Amino acid sequence: MAKTAWAPFPHDANAFAYSGDALKKAWPHLHAGDAEPWPDAKRAAALIKAAGKAAPKDMDAEQLASALQDAWRAFHRGDFKAAFDAGEALGPIGASVAVKAIGIHATYLVEGDAEKLKRFEQASKLAEAAAKALPDEANSHYRLAFALGRYSQGISIGKALKQGIAGKVRDALDATLELAPKHAEAHTALALYHAEIIDKIGAMIGGLTYGAKASEAESHIKAALKLTPDSPIAHIEHGNVLMLVHGDKKEDAAAAAYEKAARLKPADAMEALDAAYAAEQIE
């Protein structure tokens, strides 16, 4: 991965530095969507114990906590390569930040489809290793669902269904919500799962074959919006769900959801990219 260029974050990142104690203070807001626990020494010690042989060698809890906090700082300020490299170096314990970093960067800042797929594939492998090493961590499963979900969108939902990827995404999201019922991004992803299948193969076959239901899509996106009303991506995906399930009938409501996303003040680099994407769609 080091040989491939990482396009830099294209916006002003000064507001997203979160140096020193600022990161801890902002953490509940920054991670309202993914329910990532604050990585202090106590948390790091629990992760080391849970990961066993998969934990980083020669690193105590204090050092690991510091490394995780720095990796997340890099992510939030838009230095996605530094966040990815730092997370990947920590093995399964760093997979949450590594997968999020490479995934968000690939979604918005990688142009070629083949390169995007390659990165989502790499993210999936990291997430799979984390799900095996840390199965009690909600984000081990969520990052896997995220990486596979983005990969499946790149190859088409139809192909993803044939290859059984959709089932893996659903299982990973179910596992996430079992461990963290208020995981807003998992609710959003599950809403899209139902909506994309209905859009691709219709409500009747989608329901019979994959358990996809419009009512589930709407209920999950409502849960996400309630949990993260200030998150641009929740509103973007709300618009997408409306279009996938209802088509042109809900075009105005979908446009309003995108407009809301574009107006929100971003809390970090990811949200800035989300909001900029929403603004581009309504121009």
Rounded Cα distance, 196 and 269, in Å:
27
Give yes or no for a contact between 142 and 173, defined as CB atoms under 8 angstroms apart.
Answer: yes
Amino acid at 108: Y
- Its pTM stands at 0.94
Rounded Cα distance, 150 and 101, in Å:
13
pLDDT-based confidence at residue 159 (cuts at 50, 70, 90): confident
Could you write out the three-class secondary structure of 61-109? HHHHHHHHHHHHHHHHCCCHHHHHHHHHHCHHHHHHHHHHHHHHHHHHH
Give yes or no for a contact between 35 and 224, defined as CB atoms under 8 angstroms apart.
Answer: no
Which residue matches tokens 């995780």?
68
What pLDDT is recorded for position 1?
44
Residues 6+ apart with CB under 8 A from 137: 47, 50, 96, 130, 179
Residues 6+ apart with CB under 8 A from 70: 86
Percentage of the residues of the chain whose pLDDT score is greater than 70: 95
Q: What kind and span of H or E run contains 32?
A: none
Which domains are delineated in the chain?
19-177 (1.25.40), 182-283 (1.25.40)
Burial 160-199 (b: 16+ CB within 10 A, else e): bbeeebbebbbebbebbbebbeebbbbbbbbbbbbbbbbb
Give yes or no for a contact between 192 and 237, defined as CB atoms under 8 angstroms apart.
Answer: yes
- Mean pLDDT, residues 205-234: 87
- Token pair in block for residue 22: 């600022």
Give yes or no for a contact between 144 and 124, defined as CB atoms under 8 angstroms apart.
Answer: yes
- Mean pLDDT, residues 106-113: 95
- The least confident of 154-158, 165-169, 190-194, 271-275 is 154-158
